[in-house]
Amino acid sequence: MADSTSKTYWKILIALSLVHFSGDFYSSFVSPLFPVFMDKMGLSLAQIGILAGISRFLMFIIQPLSGYWADRHPSRSFILIGLLMPILCIPLAGLTSSFYGLLLCIAIGSAGSSLFHPPVTGMVPIYAGRNHGLAMSIYNTAGTLAFGVGPIFITWFVTWFGLRAMPVTMAIGLSIWIYFYWVIPKPTGDGMDQYGFIETLRQTLGSVWQPILLIWIVMVLRALVGQSLMTFMPVLWVQKGHTIVSAGILFSIFTLSGTVAGILCGYISDRMGYKRLLWITHSLMAPFLLMFLLVPGKWIYPATILAGGFNMASLPLGVVMAQKIAPKGRSMVASLMMGLAFGTGGILSPIIGKLGDIFTIQSVLMILVCIPVLSLIPVYFIPEVGDHLDAQSS
């Protein structure tokens, strides 16, 4: 087993981050191809809504159940089989000719994403040594980057080669999967296999459920703001006169700046402390997001860099804090802070869209980006954790 108190195993951490990137890369193919599937199969908006809803449910909401099984029965099978499902099934969607065939491919691929995310995330702190924040930020960044470049790649590929050529993209994932087969170690357990679900929750969260709940609330509020912006920003930009290409560039800037900020925030957190940095990022998030929505002309570009950075910076902090507070259930708490929080925030996005139809999306987003101020209330009551405390006491 790795020495989690000192040495950082970068080779394994990079491999785990590549697993995250690979799975999310294929999962990111689905949404940008909905217009193509609508044109090919004559799908209704209601059917697209069903596909998106099932994909989001299977990809995010059921992660805690997968995390429970991963903690109870640590095995590489969750990772290898789970990763193989989106690599194989999402590209096969290009060959389908009916709604139900498409639904099956998306459902299996999304379920696979839920299988591999919790155990892989749970392994990161084991091999991080004293670089927990940096390691988790790199790991999270890999997934964010995948959702940034995946849609660009698959829309380019389908434009040039067509939907029926999508299975060719399996070659990329399968070649990397072989590398993972040899490099990824078996997850280690914490003796949870003898417990049932309720007892596992008691062992994992029994005495620490309150700070875990507080961190989860913060992560849900962050996800609600982040996912709503990612969903409706392109619409708002086009309404303001930007071209589709310009909106795509801004979207990439927003995502990439968040990627860089996540790594920087993870590095600083190992030295400053997670709670203090969580407080700083959430205090500054609302002002920079408001500026992002209000600035005119070319000022939108620097504003997008700052908004994307502060929106994504705190993601690794919540995961690492939860894993430190509840170390016996690393996979489960990771699934709560990422999968369940993302899913809960995403489920609320249709309500934001409906309010945008009634009022305007600009006015709704103006109110929405003030939510991080409310998150400072639970942040205040979260206990401080971090390796910097050990350094100060020694």
pLDDT at 157 exceeding the cut of 60: yes
Within 8 A by CB and 6+ apart from 380, the residues are 279
Q: What's the pLDDT band for 386 if we cut at 50, 70, 90?
A: low
Give phi and psi for 58, each to the nearest 5.
-70, -30
Dist CA 324 CA 119 (whole Å): 16
CB contact at 8 A, 83 and 177: yes
More confident residue, 56 or 394: 56
196 in any annotated domain: no
Residue 375: pLDDT band (50, 70, 90) is: very high
Tell me which range, 35-44, 149-158, 197-206, 306-315, is most confidently predicted by mean pLDDT. 306-315
Please state the φ and ψ torsions of residue 382, each to the nearest 5 degrees: -75, 130
Match 């999962």 to its residue by tokens: 27
Number of domains making up the chain: 2
Read off the pLDDT band of 159 (50, 70, 90): confident
The answer to whether residues 166 and 224 belong to one domain is no
Q: What is the mean pLDDT of residues 5-23?
A: 86
Angle of CA points 110, 116, 121, to nearest 5° = 125
Whether residue 79 sits in one domain with residue 19: yes
Residues 184 and 216 in one domain: no
| Structural domain contains residue 388 | yes
Domain that holds residue 382: 203-394
Range of lowest pLDDT (27-36, 185-194, 246-255): 185-194
* Same domain? 29 vs 172: yes
pLDDT reported for residue 175 = 92
Q: What is the mean pLDDT of the chain?
A: 83
Please tell me the distance from the alpha carbon of residue 123 to that of residue 323, in angstroms, as a whole number.
11
Grouping H, G, I as helix, E, B as strand and the rest as coil, residue 374 is helix
Residue 188 vs residue 57, higher pLDDT:
57
pLDDT, tens only, 49-107: 678 778 878 887 778 777 777 777 777 888 899 999 999 999 999 999 899 999 999 99
Domain boundary (189, 217, 242) is at: 189
Asked if 170 and 225 sit in the same domain, the reply is no
Are the CB atoms for 300 and 183 separated by under 8 Å? Answer: no
Q: How many residues does the chain have?
A: 394
Burial of 258 (0-12, 13-18, 19+ CB in 10 A): buried
Cα–Cα distance measured from residue 64 to residue 110, given in angstroms and rounded to the nearest whole number: 14
Residue 282 vs residues 120, 286, 311, 348, 373: alpha-carbon distances, Å: 27, 7, 8, 20, 7
pLDDT value at residue 189: 59
Tell me whether residue 198 is in a domain.
no
Q: Summarize the confidence of residues 359-387 as an average pLDDT.
A: 89
d(CA 30, CA 52): 8
If phi > 0 it is left, if psi is from -120 to 50 it is alpha, else beta; for residue 191 that is left
Q: Examine the domain organization and report whether 222 and 111 are in the same domain.
A: no
Q: Is 313 found in the same domain as 183?
A: no
Q: What is the pLDDT of residue 31?
A: 77
How does pLDDT run across 195-217, given as a tens digit for each residue?
666 666 676 777 788 999 999 99
Confidence of residue 244 (pLDDT cuts 50, 70, 90): low
Co-location of 103 and 252 in the same domain: no
- Domain boundary residue, one of 144, 163, 189: 189
Q: How confident is the model at residue 367 (pLDDT cuts 50, 70, 90)?
A: very high
Summarize the confidence of residues 150-167 as an average pLDDT.
88
